[in-house]
Amino acid sequence: MQEVVTSFGMQAAAAEIFLLTAICVILLVDVFLSDSKRWITYGLTLLTLAGSAFVTVKYAVDGRVTAFDGMFVADPMGDVLKLFSYGTVAVSLLYSHDYLKRNGLFRGEFFILALVALLGVMVMVSAGSLLTVYLGVELLSLSLYAMVAFDRDSGVAAESAMKYFVLGAISSGALLYGFSILYGVTGTLQLDELAVGVREVGAGNLGLVFGLAFVIVGIAFKFGAVPFHMWVPDVYHGAPTPVTLFIGSAPKIASFVLAIRVLAEGLDAMVASWQNMLIAISVASMIVGNVVAIAQTNLKRMLAYSTISHVGFILLGILAGTNDGYRAAMFYTLTYVIMAVGSFGMILLLSREGFEGDQLEDFKGLQRKSPWFAAMMMMLMFSTAGVPPFVGFWAKIAVLGAVVDVGLVWLAAVSVLLSVVAAFYYLRIIKLMYFDEPSDTYAIQADGTLRTVLSANGLAVLALGIFPSVLLDLCARVLP
Amino acid sequence: MSTITWPILSVLIWLPIAGGVAMLALGDRGIALGRWIALITTAVTFGISTLLWTNFDTTTASMQFVEERTWIPLFNSLYALGVDGFAMPLIVLTAFITPLVVIAGWTVIEKKPAQYYAAFLILEGLMIGVFAALDAMLFYVLWEAMLIPMFIIIGIWGGPRRVYATIKFFLYTFLGSVLMLVSLIYMYLQTCDAGQCSYMIADFQRLPLGLNEQLFIFVAFLAAFAVKVPMWPVHTWLPDAHVEAPTGGSVILAAIMLKMGGYGFLRFSLPITPDASDTLDWLVISLSLIAVVYIGFVALVQQDMKKLIAYSSIAHMGFVTLGSFLTFELMRVNSGDMTGAAMGIDGAMVQMISHGLISGAMFFCVGVLYDRVHSREISSYGGVVNTMPVFAAFMVLFAMANSGLPATSGFVGEFLVILASFRADFWYAFLAGLTLILGAAYTLWLVKRVVFGPVANHHVAELKDVNGRELLVLGVLAIAVLGLGLWPAPLLDVMRPTVENLVQQITVSKL
């Protein structure tokens, strides 16, 4: 009997175990490779991602399975999110390949850090206890700090890594402090027991609410929601573009799952308390994100503020506190990641030797140089703005539906009005690409992989916009 | 009964879009072939759309040529298409105008021609979809998606201030529509509470709603449709967009896109929120009358031909909203004056179709002059009749139609609405009737300054009269304008059951 349980535990975590093993292998192999053979690390990393996907699919679960004494949870939502994380990490690595090579960043550590960060995401996704959550958060965050500082000759990158690290450490502290209070009041770290414990103590318990406030601070920080957003623009701007791209991908899924596991599963009885906190955070994020984005001249920085506003939307879904809402938030997160990866991919597409391509001005007249990629960027921008028939629109619909359903019509109205503000700065990019003349004559130099994947990414935004059911039904299946 | 068994509406939507995608794939290098693709696609689309008319059952108000497929099961949203007496004429109008736009741009567009035609083709498909959608979510998707090609059209092929104009156009319309989206979602959730989740517009129309709910929904719809129509005071995007847009863009904007506002009122506002419409009809009626009178005066002082026609569009669209909302006043004052109410809505519909033809024609005329002289200023012209007699004849005809001369289509709609307003209140009719003076004043003064008089300058002296291509466009439009003016009965017949049904529907309170 004991053996069965143990082996079951291993199976539930098969993907994590596989990934960890592979990371060790790559780490060892990489040591013995000369710089000209670095592509082997790169190839192994991609193979690892494919292998993890295979393992995840093979050991996919139908219902909720716990392992390691409840510390670890495998459920369909987790499987889907993990698969999605592999995909986005793979795409972001494919996008980054060229840039890394050109800037002397094509080193084994980059890929290993990326995989460790991914492992952190997976641990968070499968967390069954507050401790596991924290473990995942730190695994992810520490890898990201290092990745931001990866270009060690860049002062800006070092500065933003420092900011990220200091603020991140404080927020992790807040999160941990909140967890400890929850533990103190309910006597458990296990999320399912916590849910029972909260009901026994009563959701109005002052200690619990006090702890919750700290937990919310931690979650809001990891999401990058106002007023804990200060790091987002600096880190997005300062980090090398591939790292920015990476931060915009899988870690967003992690933030979502952090909120779901802790708030929706552990503290569901306290929904009345965290709903109000999240309403304030969400509205503030949408206002600050959208309004400040207008003033930006750097695309990475603009997208950082746009992220903040999208986080506000994701939080709208979560704060509804219903399954519809969680599903909508999940759908929103996934579509946001698809769009964000594409947008940062466009910056990488434009970049070339000694040229970052991250200024808004750099997009001037892109339509002249490459009608195809201008069209891709246009679709990505319209989608991010939430204009149909692109998938970003459906994300907004899903979230608005959840919010209106719980009677917060005013909140829905505020958010759509703010999305009109957002439309302005996305339109500005389209204006630069389509209505202005190019300011230089350089042709796009990106390699075939980047071109192909980016095209697929852009077309996916349109295809999912016309047939949103593909992704919506998936979210509905794992979050019934 | 309709004998068409194939999905005609889907073909009407997707054929132009497919043509547009083909043009994009072909690119500017194959533009000689591309132009023909564009022309043939739009001409075939128009041909198919006439089948709608000939197979249309004029005895029923229910939807025809209905198609239904599941689209997004999770939201219970259907790919549902169908037409009634309101949608069908507008679809035919759309399919009629677009080939003319293609012909008008034949040699004129030199910058990125493939994309120019592609944008219009895709736009055509989306516009037909807006009129044919029976599912509110599908409607909204197409309604918003339509902004994208128009945004591009004005932005790339427009005049000097095109960027300002197109962003203003996009944001204005977007801002108007988002609140409509919230109210659509709200009504969807209401249908869920009633037991059957649905985004079908017909289900929304049956939905019982309290007065406060109706008022909020009505205001949200008003924001969306009033911007589109556009009604005073949210009209300011229109003169800018029109002035900067290329000729084809102006034509589509005036002839079809503005009609979507009027169509929205008839399809959504009136039947879904009849009590709120009843309560707030004074607001819409006053705004309409302000549009008719005040904007008429504004049009009088314009120096720019396109701006003048843009303002005249606003004034004429005032009749559409006036005719639609007179219904409630008529019900109240004349204790259920069904005939009058039907007359108002009839007038609104005829006005929409007729204004589509006339304003389109007027913009074509300006386009003809602009292509030659590259100026829209009225003062750059004078005595055009001396060098372009054929063109002058057409321009005078359309100007007469624009000022509502009997025997042109412009007369029918305005006359019906004025008749209906007489039944409601003398002063409404008086103010609305001012348009006959104002419309004649600004249009004929325009014609006098541009067409007649001595040859003003050497540009005018060097003008060549219309070529065969332009003659074709103007000729076809002239026939349509005169045809509808002399014999509007077929159009009224097509609409009658739908209009009567709508009047029935809105007289029943939802409270």
pLDDT at A371: 86
CA B362 to chain centre: 14
pLDDT tens for each residue of B224-266 = 999 988 888 888 899 888 888 888 889 998 889 999 999 999 9
pLDDT at B415: 87
pLDDT at B380: 84
Residue A321 φ then ψ, to 5°: 70, 15
**Residue A400 with chain B: CB contacts under 8 Å:** 181-182, 185
CA A347 to chain centre: 18
ipTM: 0.90
CA-wise closest residue to B260 among B325, B173, B183, B199: B173
Distance CA B361, CA B401 (A): 10
What mean pLDDT is predicted for residues A119-143?
93
Do B167 and A427 make contact, defined as CB atoms within 8 angstroms? Answer: yes
Check if the beta carbon of residue B221 is closer than 8 Å to that of residue B268: yes
**Residue A382 with chain B: CB contacts under 8 Å:** 148
Do B137 and A424 make contact, defined as CB atoms within 8 angstroms? Answer: no
Residue B2 pLDDT > 70, yes or no? Answer: no
pLDDT at B334: 64
Query: How long a stretch of residues is chain B?
Result: 511
Question: B25 at the A interface (CB within 8 A)?
Answer: no
pLDDT tens for each residue of B128-180 = 999 999 999 999 999 999 999 999 999 888 888 888 999 999 998 998 888 89
Question: A435 at the B interface (CB within 8 A)?
Answer: yes
Question: B156 at the A interface (CB within 8 A)?
Answer: yes
Q: Shortest Cα distance from A428 to chain B (angstroms)?
A: 8
Question: B185 at the A interface (CB within 8 A)?
Answer: yes
pLDDT tens for each residue of A254-263 = 999 999 999 9
Residue of B137, B140, B155 lying closest to A431 (CB–CB): B155
Check if the beta carbon of residue A461 is closer than 8 Å to that of residue A382: no
Residue B1 pLDDT > 50, yes or no? Answer: no
pLDDT at A329: 93
Question: B219 at the A interface (CB within 8 A)?
Answer: no
What one-character DSSP code corresponds to residue A262? Answer: I
**Residue B175 with chain A: CB contacts under 8 Å:** 417, 420
Question: A416 at the B interface (CB within 8 A)?
Answer: yes
Q: Which residue in chain B has the smallest CA separation from A474?
A: B74
Which segments within B165-265 are labelled E, that is strand?
none
What mean pLDDT is predicted for residues A298-322?
92
CA angle B149-B151-B155, nearest 5°? Answer: 115
Do A431 and B148 make contact, defined as CB atoms within 8 angstroms? Answer: no
C-beta neighbour count of B212 within 10 angstroms: 9
Q: Which residue in chain A has the smallest CA separation from B160?
A: A435
pLDDT tens for each residue of B273-323 = 888 888 888 899 899 999 888 988 998 898 888 899 999 999 889 889 988
Pairing of strands B64-72, B77-83: antiparallel
Between chain A and chain B, how many beta carbons pairs sit less than 8 Å apart? 89
pLDDT at B132: 92
Check if the beta carbon of residue B316 is closer than 8 Å to that of residue B403: no
Question: A68 at the B interface (CB within 8 A)?
Answer: no
Question: B163 at the A interface (CB within 8 A)?
Answer: yes
Q: Which residues contact B459 (CB under 8 A, 6 or more apart)?
A: B372, B373, B375, B380
Average pLDDT of chain A to the nearest whole number:
89
Q: Shortest Cα distance from A393 to chain B (angstroms)?
A: 9
pLDDT tens for each residue of A12-55 = 888 999 999 999 999 999 989 888 888 899 999 999 999 999 99
Preceding peptide of B233 cis, ω within 30°: yes
Distance CA A189, CA B355 (A): 70
Q: Which residues of A357-376 are buried (b: 16+ CB within 10 A; e: fewer)?
A: bbbbebbbbbbebbbebbbb
The residue type at A286: M
What one-character DSSP code corresponds to residue A240? Answer: -
> What single string gives the DSSP state of each residue in A3-42?
HHHHHHHHHHTHHHHHHHHHHHHHHHHHHT--GGGTHHHH
Q: Which residues of B432-448 are buried (b: 16+ CB within 10 A; e: fewer)?
A: bebbbebbbbbbbebbe
Burial of A3 (0-12, 13-18, 19+ CB in 10 A): exposed
Q: Which residues contact B7 (CB under 8 A, 6 or more apart)?
A: B67, B81
pLDDT at B143: 93
Check if the beta carbon of residue A253 is closer than 8 Å to that of residue A84: yes
Question: A477 at the B interface (CB within 8 A)?
Answer: no
CA-wise closest residue to B393 among B303, B454, B310, B474: B474
What does the block give as tokens for B180? 């409509």
Q: Which residues of B450-461 are buried (b: 16+ CB within 10 A; e: fewer)?
A: bbeeebbeebbe
Average pLDDT of chain B to the nearest whole number:
88
Q: What is the three-class DSSP state of B135? A: strand
Residue A7 pLDDT > 70, yes or no? Answer: no
pLDDT tens for each residue of B211-223 = 888 999 999 999 9
Q: Which residues pair with B80 in a beta bridge?
A: B68
Check if the beta carbon of residue A364 is closer than 8 Å to that of residue A439: yes
Longest CA span, chain B? 73
pLDDT tens for each residue of B77-123 = 889 999 988 999 999 999 999 999 988 888 887 888 888 899 999 99
What mean pLDDT is predicted for residues A470-475?
89
